[in-house]
Structure 1
Amino acid sequence: MPKIRLFPSACHSARLARSFGAALVAFSLAPPVPAAEEIPQGSSFFDDFDSFDKSLWGISDGWVNGTWQNCRWSKDAMSVSDGYLNLQFLRHPTEKLDYICGEIQSRERYGYGVYEARFRTAQGSGLNAAFFTYIGPHHGKPHGEIDFEVLTRDTSRVSLNTYVAGKPHNGKPVPLPHPSDDGFITYSFVWSKDGITWYVDGVKMHETAAGSPLPTDAQKIYASFWGSDSFPNWMGRFDEPEQDLTMNVDWIAFTAEGESCQFPASLLCKLE
């Protein structure tokens, strides 16, 4: 199997495009992956983080996605303990930045199917707790993305979105059953050639509009917790946290289209 490179995600680079133009985004991303290093296609999985599966996940470490990000991705902001993946936003001053933050990304890419994660966030303005899929130019593909983003200045809702060829479609904030920092919530979306449908705790919240552009390339799976002081209108003014903050992920799963429910808590068990 060819070596798999881990590169920055573009969940937040997409927002940079919206605010400052695609040229800046292209500058902030890594160069395309050579054809010999094409990311392999993954299959169904359920990961409850009893341990960290290095064959499934890579850790974003040692870079930032752009000058607008006020934390550096670091392996020191990620841990697995007591059955949880912990992604943190930590004060850790360096010459350039005062904070480090945590992200994992799948080593493989995934296509049509059911994507699910159960997590709890912290609360804080200027921070983003995200579960999403992404593929882009540094993988040799157009920018595609499907998002759940809890902008933790307001933990009562989650933002949903897609990007197709670098352009946003079907964006919508939806209410959560309880504040995301009060307890765990399950976030799921079903992606097929006909559309994307988002669910929160098994309740349908949003779907792509008929005839809207849809992602077609398989994508990598990400979970991240990061901050910025560059987007006050979107993420809120960045307020320096009084303590280290954590996004706790209970589990992440993918079930390929056409396959049966693989664990009791899956949305697919309710839909079958």
Structure 2
Amino acid sequence: MYPNSAHPAWKADLIHFEKNRIDLEVRREKTGYKTIAGAEYQRRGFFHYGRYEVVMKPARGSGTVSAMFTHTHGQFGDPHDEIDIEFLGNRARQLHLNYFTDGKAAGSIYVQLGFDATKEVHLYAFEWEPDEIRWYVDDKLVHTATPDFHAIPQAPGRLIVHLWSGGREQHDWHGRPTFTDGTRASVYCLSFRAQGDHAAQCSDAFSAKK
């Protein structure tokens, strides 16, 4: 546990395996140096270029961050490369996108959703290629990143979903942590398909409500 980290204490008992989903919980719970505990779930292995999908309903409430992302860092002998799909619980009608290349952040990109993400289950995805990242909501393209804007990540990373709330330095971004204690984000499906592969994905079985 790192006392100066913006992240909470990660606790396995805040991951709930339900019949048709995984629920991730965040609580005000003192653990060592931390006053908030969150949940993080990772798929084993490292993943590279291809299509990443998640069917989810993020948590509601100021101070919460629900996310699906790829990540690698110095602990694996890599640069900090990362690609994010994030939801801020105090901005329920927006999708927050960001990515890091060798430790440098592209910066916040906000996409208007036209619905309250905390009240509905939707499919979110990104396609990662050597020279481009494309993000989708229910298979609709909502943003494209190219090297003209910011260098594209190159290092394979872990595939992670989590729910957390940060310290004071994060409050200007995700809001003060006034969320209801024990609030949850629900993940119904998480999938990866390598570039050029034809493996099954979440979108094969998911249909957004009209």
The answer to whether the superposition gives a TM-score over 0.5 is yes
Amino acid at match of 1:113: G
Q: Give the Cα–Cα distance (whole angstroms) in 1 for the partners of residues 202 and 69 of structure 2.
A: 22
Alignment match of 1:151 (pick from 79, 88, 98): 88
Q: Deviations over 1:197-250 (max 9, x none)?
A: 0001111010113533111111110100001241222111221x3441000000
Alignment match of 2:15 (pick from 72, 78, 81): 78
Give the TM-score taking structure 1 as reference length.
0.69
Work out which of the two has the higher radius of gyration on C-alpha atoms and give 1 or 2.
Answer: 1
Q: Give the Cα–Cα distance (whole angstroms) in 2 for the partners of residues 74 and 170 of structure 1.
A: 29
Alignment match of 2:105 (pick from 148, 168, 171): 168
Is residue 51 of structure 2 the alignment partner of residue 114 of structure 1? yes
Amino acid at match of 1:223: V
C-alpha displacement of 1:131: 0.5
Structure 1, unpaired ranges of 5+: 1-62, 268-272
SS of 2:45's equivalent in the other structure is strand
C-alpha displacement of 1:183: 1.1
Amino acid at match of 2:174: M
Q: 1:95 to 1:110 in 2, by over 3 A?
A: closer
Higher strand share: 2
C-alpha displacement of 1:127: 1.3
C-alpha displacement of 1:123: 1.0
Q: Give the Cα–Cα distance (whole angstroms) in 2 for the partners of residues 264 and 181 of structure 1.
A: 19
Q: CA RMSD in A?
A: 2.0
| Residues 26, 181 of structure 2: 8 Å contact kept | no
C-alpha displacement of 1:114: 0.2
Question: Which residue is equivalent to 1:249?
Answer: 187
Question: Which residue is equivalent to 1:236?
Answer: 175
Is residue 78 of structure 2 the alignment partner of residue 141 of structure 1? yes
C-alpha displacement of 1:193: 1.4
Q: Give the Cα–Cα distance (whole angstroms) in 2 for the partners of residues 255 and 218 of structure 1.
A: 14
Task: Give the paired residue count.
Answer: 203
Give the TM-score taking structure 2 as reference length.
0.89
Q: Give the Cα–Cα distance (whole angstroms) in 1 for the partners of residues 140 and 195 of structure 2.
A: 20
Q: Give the Cα–Cα distance (whole angstroms) in 1 for the partners of residues 105 and 3 of structure 2.
A: 19
| Residues 53, 201 of structure 2: 8 Å contact kept | no
Amino acid at match of 1:148: I
Structure 2, unpaired ranges of 5+: 206-210
Q: 1:128 to 1:64 in 2, by over 3 A?
A: farther
Q: Deviations over 1:169-216 (max 9, x none)?
A: 264110124111111111100011121100011110101135331111
Q: Give the Cα–Cα distance (whole angstroms) in 2 for the partners of residues 121 and 133 of structure 1.
A: 17
Question: Which residue is equivalent to 2:208?
Answer: none
Alignment match of 2:25 (pick from 79, 88, 110): 88
C-alpha displacement of 1:98: 3.6
Question: Which residue is equivalent to 2:154?
Answer: 216
Q: 1:242 to 1:219 in 2, by over 3 A?
A: closer
Identical-residue share of aligned pairs (%): 26
Question: Which residue is equivalent to 1:47?
Answer: none
| Residues 170, 208 of structure 1: 8 Å contact kept | no
Bigger relative CO (Cα 8 Å, ≥ 6 apart): 2
